[in-house]
Amino acid sequence: MRLKPFCIAIWIISWWLWPVHIFAQPMELSLADYDRLLRATYAAAQRGDLLELQTLAAELTAINQVRMPDGQTAHVDHRWLAEALAPSAPDTSAIAARLGALIDALPPSTAVVTDALKHWEAVLNEPPFNRDQSESWFTHFLDWLLDGLADLLPDLPDMPVTPTPGDPSWITPVAWGILAITALLFGGLIFFWARNMRRALRPVVGIAESGVEAEPVTFSQAQRMAEAARRAGDRRNAVRYLYLAALLWLDEQKLLSFQRELTNREYLSRLRDQPPLYTQLTPIIATFEAVWYGLQTIEEQAFRAYEQQVTTLIGQTGTKYEATA
């Protein structure tokens, strides 16, 4: 009976220490998944969605380690996020700025590139790119003909290295036949090459004649194409055209030179001396990369928040901007 209180005390101590042992175990996440979680939390902070932000913050706070592409692990600590969300009215702008800095500090991940390559692979497997690579009847015919000519070559008579001018005796009927067949093959190859080139160019001509708009070169064109994509339910292209509209607007206002060969990070680096503009363009680029390169689905509410970010940027950097939505 004296052992009973002792056993109860051991059970109580074990009951209290067991959760500590469980939660002390490090929670690991891959770099690609960690990057997606950071960007989702960043987008929620930008929208001011406290409910989603608190949910995602709980996931981030539970992470202790991040697995790098080379197999090494890096320790992370997001207790600051829980502390920032503790007040009744947390500063979501400051949280978003700190999350954005974390995203910029991340090492490059291959997840976005891999997803983009899969997307392009799916596109290239559709017409007109997925042309049948199997050998045609003409290729089989050429193989058969060349094999036959190879069988005839050992039977050709010896020809003098320097033929006598005016003496055609060295040109045998077999040689004439080979020359004629070679000329026919050469002509046939030119014919089929020209026909294939005509087929390849036909879709391009059709697109040019159908009046389809090319890439926008002005702010108004990008704005119009974004509105058309949104009405068609294509929010992914609408996000891209809105981003182009923002860049073209800044170019027209002489605030940022628009050059298609520049990357998104290069655009941001050119705005380091303009902190307000840098802060406004950063979440726009983050959403665009997640939707366009990361192939993430953007819901209507998130799209409207993104559209409002572009509207605010344009409204604060030039004349009054009237949203098309």
The pLDDT of residue 264 is above 80: yes
**Is residue 286 over pLDDT 90?**
yes
Give me the mean pLDDT over the 31-47 stretch. Answer: 87
Over residues 40-65, the pLDDT tens digits come to 898 888 888 888 888 888 888 888 88
DSSP reduced 3-state for 162: coil
Position 254 scores a pLDDT of: 92
Portion of the chain with pLDDT greater than 90, in percent: 24
In this prediction, residue 234 carries a pLDDT of 93
Q: What is the mean pLDDT of residues 124-128?
A: 59
Residue 250 pLDDT level (bands cut at 50, 70, 90): very high
Mean pLDDT value of segment 280-307 = 92
Instruction: Please tell me which residue, 142 or 246, carries the higher pLDDT value.
Output: 246
Q: How far apart are CA 186 and CA 108, in angstroms?
A: 51
Position 5 scores a pLDDT of 58
Q: What is the mean pLDDT of residues 137-155?
A: 65
Q: What is the mean predicted confidence (pLDDT) over 127-149?
A: 62
Q: Is the pLDDT of residue 129 over 70?
A: no
Question: Which among 104-108, 144-148, 167-171, 259-263 has the top mean pLDDT?
Answer: 259-263
What mean pLDDT comes out for the span 185-206?
64
Tokens 């009976």 belong to which residue?
1
Position 255 pLDDT exceeds 80: yes
pLDDT band at 201 (very low <50, low <70, confident <90, very high): low
- Whether the pLDDT of residue 200 is over 70: the answer is no
All domains of the chain in start order, with CATH: 22-109 (no CATH), 219-316 (1.20.120)
DSSP state of 271: T
Indicate if the pLDDT at residue 168 is higher than 60. no
- Mean per-residue pLDDT over the chain, rounded: 75
Across 22-31, 40-49, 194-203, 248-257, which has the greatest mean pLDDT?
Answer: 248-257
pLDDT in tens, 64-90: 888 888 888 888 888 898 888 888 888
Length of the chain: 325
Instruction: Confirm if 280 and 243 have CB atoms less than 8 A apart.
Output: no
Instruction: For residue 66, report the phi and psi dihedrals to the nearest 5 degrees.
Output: -125, 125
Tell me the C-alpha distance between 284 and 170, whole Å. Answer: 79
pLDDT at 306 over 90: yes
pLDDT at 237: 94
Averaged pLDDT, 289-300 = 90
Residue 125 is classified by DSSP as T
Instruction: For residues 117 and 293, give the distance between their C-alpha atoms in angstroms, rounded to a whole number.
Output: 10
- Which of 117-131, 142-156, 199-213 is least confident? 199-213
Q: How far is CA 111 from CA 36, 65, 281, in A?
A: 9, 18, 23
Distances (CA, A) of 68 to 56, 113, 149, 234, 295: 21, 16, 60, 34, 22
Q: What is the mean pLDDT of residues 17-43?
A: 71
Of residues 194 and 222, the one with the higher pLDDT is: 222
